Amino acid sequence: MEHSYAFKLQVLKHIEAGEKLSKLGKELNIPPMTLCTWKKRKDHIQENTALSTVCTPHGRRKRSRGSKYLELECALLIWFHDMQSQTPPVKIDHKMVMARANL
């Protein structure tokens, strides 16, 4: 099971507060080695948590994939969600996306 960056950050706060990895792992049903890896990759998780809250609704991103055009992708994603939240939702085709990307 994959966990969101926001969830991982919450778990890291418990680890920093002094909770033992084994105890936390049992409570959350996560292997202690996974928690250890999260602890080692704390900086990466924090960075991607910040990006996921900007680019995705409710910060539910679970993976980070490198991007040449991160700002463009975030802007397009926000625009897409705005279009879908309208009543009735706007049907978006590839021509609309390309036109919006060229703005």
Residue span of the structural domain in which 89 resides:
67-103
- Identify whether residues 30 and 47 lie together within a single domain: yes
Distance (Å, rounded) from C-alpha 56 to C-alpha 40? 25
* CA–CA distance, 88 with 28 (Å, rounded to integer): 40
- Residue-wise pLDDT tens digits, 12-54: 999 999 999 999 999 999 999 999 999 999 988 887 776 665 5
Residues 6 and 56 in one domain: yes
Over residues 53-97, the pLDDT tens digits come to: 556 555 555 566 666 777 787 788 888 888 888 878 778 888 888
Same domain, 31 and 13: yes
As for how many domains the chain has, the answer is: 2
47 and 73 inside one domain:
no
Task: Please indicate, yes or no, whether residues 76 and 56 belong to a single structural domain of this protein.
Answer: no
Which pLDDT value is given to residue 61?
56
pLDDT at 58: 53
